[in-house]
Amino acid sequence: MPERLFVQLVNMSLTASWVIAVILAVRALFGKMRLPKKYAYYLWIIPGFRLLCPVSVSSVISLFNLRFFKGTGPAGTPAMSPAVMDRGTAGNPAFAVGVSGLDRMLQASLPAETPAVSMNPMQPVLRAAVIIWLAGVAVLGIAGLVSWLRLKKMVSVAVRRERNVYECEKIPSPFVLGLFHPRIYIPYRLPEKEREYILLHETYHIRRGDCFVKVLGYLVSVLHWFNPLVWTAYFCMGRDMEMSCDEKILSVMGMEIKKEYSLSLLSFAANKRGYFAGPLSFGEKDAGKRVLHVLNFKKPGSLAAAGGILLLVILAAVCLTDGKKEGGPEGADAPAGKTEESREVQPEAEAEGNASPGNETDGQLPEFARVRDRIVQQGLLLNQPLAFGEAVDPEDGDAVVRMAESADGVYAAYGFISPEYGSRGICLRNYQGADEHLNYVDAGWVNAYEEPRLAVGDYDGDGEEEVAFAFVSGSGTGVYVETLLVFETDETGHMYPNEMTQERQEEEIGRLLETRVNADAKTLELVDKGTGETVIGGISYGNGEEQAEFIGMDYSSQIRYSVGEDIFLFVGAGVFTDMSPMPELSEDNVAFRVRFHNPENGSGGRFTLEDPARGVFGVSAQAGTVFDETAVLIPGENVARIEITNGNTGSVSSITDREILEKVLEAYRELDIRPNGELKVRSGYSYRMELFDKKGNRLQSVVPYKDAVMIDGQIYDGSMNRTTTDLLLALAEAVT
């Protein structure tokens, strides 16, 4: 992680170096044009942004569109490739600073690819560079702190004269010290007239916020201490800051004070005798240049002011934006080892505006194509891939995870993991006879929760098989989202993904369902528009808040798919109220049958939904109908006693207290389970509970695990939610 941050910092510093060079040239031009120094001061905002912000937008007028910069980075900007720090044999490391001859020289100096080693040869060098950089940051940070403490000690005997103005006999010249409550320190016995404009100068520093600018500038310089241009920019910014304040004094008090003001600057400089105020304070520095500027200063006219503002705007547009992309990095358009069987495909849900399959730059970053090809070139698909859900840190290097495979082994899905993107990128492999075909999708995925599902079927009724692939693409607090891709395969073995997008889901759900609200009872029901029948009724909202008002429905926070001979979509019904920005999710899901319509070109297929019904996630493979978990669970009112067996000690607790019973039964009723024929019955457990009625008849035996529940010897999957864990916790609490 520190290595990656350091590489990013170096990239930002390289880019900012060119901007600083431009600003220095323009600053000199400003001097020739005799523009006020405040415009030169404002110029330093531009490189400051480049040194702090790692991202920018592209534009046609960017400095980095010049031919000089072409090919130096992903957006036409100079960059050091992260390949210098990736593990594995990622090819020759790439280094680019914006000059082709220098790029070649640096490239030749880097170690060549070494397939036999597991770590890039640049990794130790990079780690040493990080250590040196951190040491420099620490030294300069401590130096700044020591300077500040020394000044605080020096002015500890200062006497307050008025407001935030203090007199001190130990200082030879005025300065400002402090950030949130800055103080002005002046020497004793300053002449009244001189004191007046010196205080005006320092007060203007404070009012303009120069205190924060100076500290921020120093911190940025410390972070980029290895770049001499950054320090040059810092000191030039400080000089422009002081001179712009001088100009302000002359504008306010009149040009007739030029002589007296200049003499004051010279006298302060003569009295310093090695005195150093420190990088975080304002003092009367660079007296010689400032005196010349004061004596030559003329109040600018409106034309000069307009010209300065116009130049600032133009420079901001030119230097703050990145160059337009004209394709991927060198070699991305024709990566080594890429064959006709390996094509880039982009998932699209609609035929309209569909990107052409095989075009690596349509709708996606060319950097992803580079990372993808690097992983494939390393042979990770040919080696033993990681199992889905296996813990892996993307910062450790490239990895491939086996996501799913068809029963006959013809189709298999793999997920890519890289330091650049984390879990992003999917490869669909298929065999046609002895020929292997690799097809790619640029999509993010989650290496946890429910395993991806891959099924083969004729989903559009054209007599040809398609591949349905469902995987988790988003998760978080109250959010669980899956993505569905249906692949068409042509005669060459290329597979074209068609995505069921969120927009299409919402459009179809709006076509099928309507909401009827009872504002008095704070309930609503979902009704099938076609039949008028209630799909889910009595959905409460507001969480007991009398003032809560219904705003709308959310069908995007809980999305799950079941793929097999048919495809089903299960959507959690969420209710938006004016009391909370987050939707209140109902315990019930709405189940839809998903229909896929074959496009003529194999990509951009359309999806429609049918048969809305109340459902709980899971589809019976035999009946092809929605699994209803309420048919498995015992109604709570029938339960009079629960016996809980501790699987570790064998002790049995009999629970009859109704309050405790209700807590356990509430967790029991919340179970979100579904059949899964691949799950094996388990032995061993933490807690087992048996339900009994009033007559002592045993109703059911339930053994919850973290990701499943065994009911009367039948195992049910519960890995996509926490309800099984909640039941375990409720049982543990009941016996303590």
Determine the straight-line distance between the first and last CA of the chain, rounded to whole angstroms.
44
What are φ and ψ of residue 704, in 5° steps? -85, 140
The chain-wide mean pLDDT, for the chain, equals 77
**What gap in Å lies between CA 78 and CA 97, rounded to an integer?**
5
pLDDT at 341: 35
pLDDT category of residue 384 using cuts at 50, 70 and 90: confident
**How many CB atoms lie under 10 A from the CB of residue 338?**
18
Which residue from 391, 494, 388 is spatially nearest to 441, judged by alpha carbons? 494
Question: With 50 as the cut, is the pLDDT of residue 328 above it?
Answer: no
Residues 6+ apart with CB under 8 A from 59: 317, 321, 322, 324
CATH code linked to domain 631-734: 3.30.1490
Structure tokens at 272: 């310093």
Model confidence over 117-159: pLDDT tens digits? Answer: 334 445 567 778 888 888 988 998 898 888 888 888 888 778 8
Torsion sign, CA atoms 502, 508, 510, 513: negative
Using the predicted structure, report yes or no on whether residue 112 has a pLDDT greater than 80: no
Domain with CATH 3.30.1490 in the chain: 631-734
Q: How far apart are CA 667 and CA 639, in angstroms?
A: 14
Most confident among 67-81, 125-139, 286-300, 332-346 (mean pLDDT): 125-139
Percent of the chain at pLDDT exceeding 70: 77
- Do the beta carbons of residue 13 and residue 136 sit within 8 Å? no
Residue 507: pLDDT over 50:
yes
For residue 301, the model assigns a pLDDT of: 65
Identify the weakest region by mean pLDDT among 101-105, 530-534, 625-629, 710-714.
Answer: 101-105
Range with the poorest average pLDDT among 158-167, 497-506, 696-705, 708-717: 158-167
d(CA 69, CA 77): 6
